[in-house]
Structure 1
Amino acid sequence: MTDSRTALVLFSGGQDSTVCLAHALATYSHVETVGFDYGQTHRVELDCRLDVLAQIRAAFPDWAEKLGDDHVLALPALADIGGTALTGDGEIRVLDNGLPSTFVPGRNLLFLTYAAAIAYRRGLSVLVGGMCETDYSGYPDCRRDTLDHLAKAISAGMDAPIEIETPLMYLDKAATWAMTETLGGDMLIDLIREATHSCYRGDRTTRHEWGYGCNDCPACELRSKGYAQWVAQKKVSHDL
């Protein structure tokens, strides 16, 4: 049964946020999306997200009826602060503090706070994000504990209940591909391989079996490894 609540999906146009969007459309009565322009070096994702939305509307008519407005907010201050490989030309590496240079301090905290403000104005009660503790790059703002504390603070500060749902929190990338197939079959798998963008370097020139990317950055490595594991698991299941 469809959940009568309404949701706002943090939608970057990448694999994880697209699976989260599919989950929300399969779950809630009305779904809107929000993207952020924060000076990211892989800003090609901002173009890809519009293509993904258009393809979802065309390929899944039942979902299209639930899919409402898309919002895009500019957060240039994240790039102005600098010091990260995602908003500059820095090398992708592990820093002395143990975090990857792709970590943008406060990014998810700001994204969710701004998303909550939109949700408040739009009458939406659930924020849906692709944060994950299982296959992730060590970002502290992806942890469930962080998000639980943030949800409490936002709900208190707005005097309105806001839930932060993270469907992928405890899934590895192979399980994310499996979830994709469950939600939308081969059509959604093909859409994610062809239309989404997750590569930190913004490479849309090289097509791999799992999709487009440099096949060298942490995001591509996770996506590639997860796809290979999912395909192997499917083969074993088929052979049994």
Structure 2
Amino acid sequence: MKTSGLNPNGALVVFSGGQDSATCLAWALDRFEHVETVGFHYGQVHHVEMTVRHTVRDKIAALNGGWRSCLMADHVFDAGIIGQIGQSPLTGGTAASMLSQNLPDTFVPGRNLLFLTLSAALAYRRGLKHIITGVCETDFSGYPDCRDDTIKALQVAVNLGTDAPFVIHTPLMWIDKAQTWALAHELGGDELVRVIQQETHTCYRGDRVDLHDWGYGCGECAACMLRSSGWKSFQRSKKQAA
């Protein structure tokens, strides 16, 4: 029987330094023996997320001795071509013309498609069977490359294109932001929630000055509003359960 050469206990997390990818990192560390991370520079306005990645990684690993022993290499790649092709306010451009007027102006065409394709290429070289990404259809902001059907189709494509049985995991696919906070609490308790709250970055405008109870951000962009509303719902649920 043919073997793939991929480590069945090895995982690669697409890790931006934001709330979702930090939760996915903890999720992966809780399940796999060898976990690596990958991040991408693509001309994002909120490039500050790339400067907090190492702190977030280190602080998450420090929460659990087992997690610390599982967390391995970090990789960062230049994916600037995305910003050149998919101009949007998220990459410092003006809102581009969209084929569908239902898409938000922060949609960057091909971003997640390219991220996961590049991640699969890296996972192939590193011998890692599992790829984890924080895309979510429940709170997907209208991005079609975050849909479950998209990810399933992409898994088929990369597996056929590499002749390797990768598994793309989407732990957040069917949960909202409040449940994402709750998942972090389930995985690492108040300590992990605090790391995500204080160290991760989500704000599309790159605001790293204003610290709210839910984290840093302008408080006005779509990412901040989603994170803030999720935090409030999470806090209400905790109080009700107490």
- TM-score band, normalised by the shorter chain? over 0.9
Distance in 1 (CA, whole Å) between partners of 2:28 and 2:209 is 30
Range 97-106 or range 15-24, more displaced: 97-106
Identical aligned pairs, as a percentage? 53
Query: Structure 1 residue 4: deviation in Å?
Result: 5.2
What's the counterpart of residue 75 of structure 2?
71
Tell me if the contact between 2:11 and 2:35 (Cα under 8 Å) persists in the aligned partners.
yes
Which residue of structure 1 lines up, in the alignment, with residue 194 of structure 2?
190
Which residue identity lines up with residue 72 of structure 2 in the other structure?
A: G
Is 1:13 paired with 2:17? yes
What's the TM-score, normalizing by structure 1?
Answer: 0.94
Q: Is this contact kept in 2: 1:126–1:164, CA < 8 A?
A: yes
Preserved contact between residue 140 and residue 147 of structure 2 (Cα < 8 Å): no
TM-score with structure 2 length normalisation?
Answer: 0.93
Asked whether 1:122 is paired with 2:126, we answer yes
1:111 to 2:115 alignment: yes
Where does residue 222 of structure 1 map in the other structure?
Answer: 226
User: Contact 2:63–2:188 at 8 Å: present in 1 too?
Assistant: no
Deviation at 1:82, TM superposition (A): 4.1
1:88 maps onto 2:118 in alignment:
no
Distance of 1:86 and 1:95 partners within structure 2: 18
Range moving further from structure 2, 55-64 or 108-117 = 55-64
Determine the C-alpha separation between the residues in 2 that align with 1:209 and 1:45. 18
8 Å CA contact 1:15–1:198 kept in 2: the answer is yes
Deviations 1:157-184 (A, max 9, x none): 1001111100000001111111010000
- How far apart are residue 237 of structure 1 and its match? 1.6
Question: Which ranges in structure 2 are unaligned for 5 or more consecutive residues?
Answer: 1-6
What is the RMSD of the two structures over their aligned residues, measured on CA atoms?
Answer: 1.7
The whole-number CA distance in structure 2 between the counterparts of 1:154 and 1:4 is 17
1: distance between equivalents of 2:86 and 2:223? 20
SS at match of 1:113: helix
Deviation sequence 1:189-215 (CA, Å, 0-9, x none): 110011000000000100000100011
The counterpart of 2:40, out of the listed 26, 36, 42, is 36
Q: How far apart, in 1, do the equivalents of 2:15 and 2:153 lie?
A: 22
Q: Which letter maps to 1:37?
A: H
List 4+ stretches of structure 1 deviating above 3 A.
89-92
User: Whole-Å Cα distance in 2 between the matches of residues 110 and 191 of structure 1?
Assistant: 28
Task: Kindly state the Cα deviation for residue 60 of structure 1 after the two structures are TM-superposed.
Answer: 2.3
Equivalents in 2 of 1:82, 1:230: separation in Å?
Answer: 34
Alignment partner of 1:48 is 2:60:
no
Question: Is 1:201 matched up with 2:205?
Answer: yes
Q: CA deviation at 1:78?
A: 1.1
User: 1:135: how far off?
Assistant: 1.3
CA distance in 1, matches of 2:206, 2:99: 22
Cα distance per residue 1:15-59 (max 9 Å; x no partner): 000000000000111100000000100000000111101212333
1:160 match: 164
Contact 1:9 1:129 in 2 (8 A): yes
Cα pair 1:199 1:217 within 8 Å, conserved: yes
- Tell me which residue corresponds to 2:215: 211
Shift of residue 61 of structure 1? 2.1
* 3-state secondary structure, aligned to 1:28: coil
Structure 1 unaligned spans of 5+ = none
